Structure 1
Amino acid sequence: MRRGFLGCLLLLSSTAIATEATPERTIYRHAVLIDGTGAPARPGTSIVVEGERIVAVLPDAQADMRGARVVDLQGRHVIPGLIDTHVHLATPPDADAARKTLRRQLYSGVTAVRSMADDVRSVGELSRQALVGEIPSPDIHYAALMAGPGFFKDPRTIAVTRGRTPGQTPWMQAIDERTDLVLAVAMARGTSADGIKLYADMPGPLLARITAEAHRQGIPVWAHAAVFPAMPADDVAAGMDVISHSCPLAYQASARKPASYHERTPVDEAPFNDGAMPAPITDLFASMAARGIILDATNLVYVRHVEEYARDRKARRRAARPD
């Protein structure tokens, strides 16, 4: 009797192992695939999924249907999952609102988001819930922030470090020339952040030192295009992985450049007035391309200004027309 009982346990164990090793296979058939490469749409496409992984994308006629669950997508279009590269899920933290946002994004086709410096105590828990399937959500990747001491007068830093001192937490660190960067980077990594965001009030040489140490410890560096007094060219020279916001790139061509984050010096528009891209900007893009630096353009931030520009342009055209 005992031997038979052990035999049943072994059989159940081997069955469980086999089940884990063979995830459910699903084939989504008859889709029209737009693959995002610029190639023509591909009708009659099957997408083969095993567990949580897409393992094949191929014509319907080539899909092996045996043993698979089949979902008919006749008349439907499929695109790759979208990535929202710049969100703030917890500034200030509001987990209920964040979960609603994440659900809406997931069901709108967004499969990954990058939370660009928030209260990581909240974002880390949201990330865990997303990872284990407790909430409907895209994958969440988030940053720990570093900035010069002057930045931490910003009231947002109080909201995301509640109960602690802004600038003195592992996810919101004030950095200057005296900072132990080995320890600072290690503390940022200890938050389980996917990257370090460099934000404000830092000179170019300090950016380079932080980036070098972060890369030595195996964590990427993301930064605003202008980290005043550091300019976009300083970001690029430092070798960071992602630069955020396209509009501050124009400071590279401005005659007057802000000396700090709190100095609200407007971008000089004169170098752009003839419609051509100024040499400092084209040189900057060439250097970014050569180094493989990604631009997180976040154009939506400036949509109001774009609309105003479009209205002004139309007004100028009407004024230039002969009566």
Structure 2
Amino acid sequence: MRRAALLAACAFGLTIAPLSARAEAWAIEHVTLIDGTGHAPQPDMTVTVDGDKITAVTPSALAKAPKGKVVDGRGKFLMPGLMDVHIHLHGGVDQKTDTVESRTQTLAGFLYSGVTTVYDAGNQTDIILPLRAAERAGKIASPRIFATGNLITYPGSHGTGMAVNIQDFEKDKDKLDKHIAEQQPDVVKLTLEEEGWGARPMITLMPEPLLRDIIRYYNLHGIRTTIHVSSELRAEEAIFAGTDSLAHPVIQGPVSDSFVKLMGAKKIPFASTLTIGENYSRLAEHPEYLDQPLYAATFSPADRQTLKTKTRAEYQARMWTAWMKLMTPVAEENIRKVWAAGGVVALGTDQSSGPASQRELELLVQAGLKPFDVLTIATHNGAVLLGKADQLGSVEPGKLADLLLLNADPSADIENVKKIAFVMKGGQIIDESKLPLAGGPQKRRFTP
């Protein structure tokens, strides 16, 4: 598998060239800085970038003479690139349109939408591993890709079809070793879910002792874990089994006060994933959202039409759509309570598009969180969940230069995160006119 991934990456290199200029030195002057850490917005700041790193963050009045190119940030707002820490990458809306080309279009669409890091929380290895290799080799225009590869579960449990199935820890340990050696997961995802809620039948649940053993084993190999849960009971069990993060909020019902206190005390980060549930009723009732500029740029006309007709009709007929419409506000309130108690929420969509990441921001504000707090959730907290806060998620010297320059204040209105002047990944300003977007060529937003 590892050899196959490397060969596929080489194949990418033959067909797809890097789509942004070489990283160089930049000085973004007189900008209002929202650094992602929760620090209040700082006016009239200068941020310098050299190569792929941020080198200085200082008041403009104290900044040294700029090296390299200068960006006038007056009236603009600088923040870290968005991080979506729960996706399942695919291209197109059905199996027929899910191709290598459409997946690279999807990744380009994340960049176009301001997302500079994604975590794929479970996928077929021949889909995600070659793309991760190609991204890290600079062969494709893509956010940074962190991936699980195959998730880990108990036979018959949630996600069993795309998982390494473990029944007995000692007897199956060689499967874990193979997963680690061949797939090199950045974070490993497990599932603790018996379903039996909404319109779903009951399924097999992973035994807690096995969950603890697997978490410990990956941690001893230096690999963080995240656990798929949907109920308070299973979330609590996952936390005390030693998980590093949760892949979802509690959605099966309102959380108890004791659980809220637990999340505030433990600081276990979890992905918000509101969009995946709200998406059903949104499409069923308001398909016109697909005409918004971000969707028009990042979805093909054919896929948008399929969503408005065939997929919409399927959603309108499903009991699951009504259930998720009912439960999404419950999940929103659970997130609000945990955030208010000091818990660590990170942006995740459980989907596969840049516009979905932007929609998640809107739903978090709808849940009652302030736009400024949502910016921390969408940046720094994603890095915390991934264990990469020393490298990503904030605008600080030494961090990787993954940045968004915005034309309006995102702390005043979360819609302003869409008003992008430029996206920078690793010190490179993205040239949108060269992105292979499914919606066709787009104008470049910023010319150096």
SS at structure 2 position matched to 1:293: coil
- Report if aligned partners of 2:274, 2:328 keep a CA contact under 8 Å in 1: no
Other-structure match for 1:149: 155
Q: In 2, are the aligned partners of 1:225 and 1:243 still within 8 Å (CA)?
A: yes
Is residue 244–residue 296 contact of structure 1 (8 Å, CA) maintained in 2? yes
**Paired residue for 1:185, among 154, 159, 176?**
176
The equivalent residue for 2:339 is none
Structure 2 vs 1, CA of residues 239 and 39 (structure 1 numbering), >3 Å: closer, same or farther? same
> What TM-score do the two structures reach when normalised by structure 1?
0.67
Question: Is 2:260 aligned against 1:232?
Answer: no
Length, aligned pairs only: 245
Encode CA deviations 1:18-60: one digit per residue, 9 max, x unaligned: xxxxx84221112222233454432221111010111211111
* Deviation by residue 1:277-319 (Cα, 9 ceiling, x = unmatched): 53xxx333433444442111211122246755799xxxxxxxx
Q: Distance in 1 between matches of 2:241 and 2:156?
A: 21
1:98 aligned partner: 103
Counterpart in the other structure of 1:76: 76
Instruction: Please state whether the residue corresponding to 1:247 is helix, strand or coil.
Output: coil
* Structure number with larger C-alpha Rg: 1
* Counterpart in the other structure of 2:187: 195
Shift of 1:194: 0.7
1:28-177 to structure 2, matched below 5 A, reads: 28-90=28-90, 94-143=99-148, 144-151=150-157, 157=161, 172-177=163-168
CA distance in 2: counterparts of 1:67 and 1:245, whole angstroms: 44
2:268 aligned with 1:293: yes
CA distance in 1, matches of 2:50, 2:126: 33
The percent identity for this pair of structures is: 27
**3-state DSSP class of the match of 1:149?**
coil
- Please give the alpha-carbon distance, in whole angstroms, between the structure 1 residues aligned to 2:213 and 2:168: 10
Work out the CA distance in 2 between the residues paired with 1:26 and 1:90. 34
Q: TM-score, normalised by structure 2?
A: 0.49
- Equivalent residue letter for 1:238: A
Give a deviation string over 1:230-276, Cα, whole Å, max 9, x none: 8222101111111112134xxxxxxxxxxxxxxxxxx4x5xx5xxxx
How far apart are the structure 2 equivalents of 1:100 and 1:189? 29
Query: What is the rounded CA distance, in whole Å, between the counterparts of 1:307 and 1:145 in structure 2?
Result: 28
Q: Which runs of no fewer than 5 residues in structure 2 stay unpaired?
A: 1-22, 194-204, 282-322, 330-448
Alpha carbons of structure 1 residues 288 and 49: separation in structure 2 relative to 1, 3 Å: same
Alpha-carbon separation, structure 2, partners of 1:216 and 1:42:
41
Partner of 2:133, secondary structure, is: helix
CA positional deviation for 1:175 = 0.9
Q: Which runs of 5+ in 1 are unaligned?
A: 1-22, 161-171, 249-266, 312-323
RMSD: 2.9
Change in Cα spacing, 1:222 to 1:38, as seen in structure 2 (3 Å) is closer
Q: Deviations over 1:118-143 (max 9, x none)?
A: 01222111112222222211110011
Q: Using the alignment, how far apart are the partners of 2:116 and 2:33 within structure 1?
A: 17
- Alignment pair present for 1:216 and 2:207: no
The residue that corresponds to 1:242 in the other structure is 245
TM-aligned CA deviation for residue 214 of structure 1: 1.1
Contact 1:207 1:238 in 2 (8 A): yes
CA contact (8 A) 2:153 2:159 kept: no
Do the aligned partners of residues 180 and 246 (structure 1) sit closer, same or farther apart at CA in structure 2, a change above 3 Å counting? same
Structure 1 residues 153, 286: CA separation in 2 closer, same or farther (over 3 Å shift)?
closer
Distance change >3 Å, CA 139–CA 117, structure 1 → 2? same
Give the partner amino acid of 1:47.
V
Q: What secondary structure, in the 3-state scheme, does the structure 2 residue paired with 1:78 have?
A: strand
Secondary structure at 1:209's aligned position in 2?
A: helix
Quick one: which amino acid aligns to residue 218 of structure 1?
G
Q: Secondary structure at the match of 1:47?
A: strand
C-alpha distance in structure 2 between counterparts of 1:108 and 1:232, whole Å = 31
Query: Separation in 2 of the partners of 1:189 and 1:42?
Result: 43
What is the rounded CA distance, in whole Å, between the counterparts of 2:231 and 2:169 in structure 1?
Answer: 19
Paired with 2:159 and 2:190, the residues of 1 have a C-alpha distance of 16
CA distance 1:67–1:212, shift in 2 (3 Å):
closer
Distance 1:310 1:237 in 2: 26
Amino acid at match of 1:139: R
* Alignment CA distance shift 1:226-1:310 (3 Å): closer
